[in-house]
Chain A
Amino acid sequence: QVQLQQSGPGLVKPSQTLSLTCAISGDSVSSNSAAWNWIRQSPSRGLEWLGRTYYRSKWFNDYAISVKSRITINPDTSGNQFSLQLNSVTPEDTGIYHCAREGSTYFDYWGQGTLVTVSS
Chain B
Amino acid sequence: QSVLTQPPSVSAAPGQKVTISCSGSSSNIGNNYVSWYQQLPETAPKLLIYDNNKRPSGIPDRFSGSKSGTSATLGITGLQTGDEADYYCGIWDSGLYAYVFGIGTKVTVL
Contact = CB atoms under 8 A, between A and B. Distances in A.
B37 A62 contact: no
Contact of B47 (A65, A98, A106): A106
Main SS class of interface, A: strand
Interface stretch (B15-23, B66-74, B75-83, B92-100): B92-100
Contacts of A102: 99
A49 B2 CA distance: 12
B101 A110 contact: no
A26 interface: no
A105 B67 CA distance: 15
A108 B54 CA distance: 12
Contacts of B47: 106-108
Given A47-B90, A64-B98, A65-B96, A110 B45 contact: yes
A105 B51 contact: yes
B98 A49 contact: yes
6 contacts: A46-B2, A46-B102, A98-B44, A105-B35, A105-B51, A108-B56
Interface of B: 2, 32-33, 35, 37, 43-47, 50-51, 56, 88, 90-92, 96-104
Given A103-B50, A104-B51, A105-B50, 6 more contacts: A64-B98, A105-B91, A106-B35, A106-B47, A110-B44, A110-B46
Interface of A: 37, 39, 46-49, 62, 64-65, 98, 102-108, 110-113
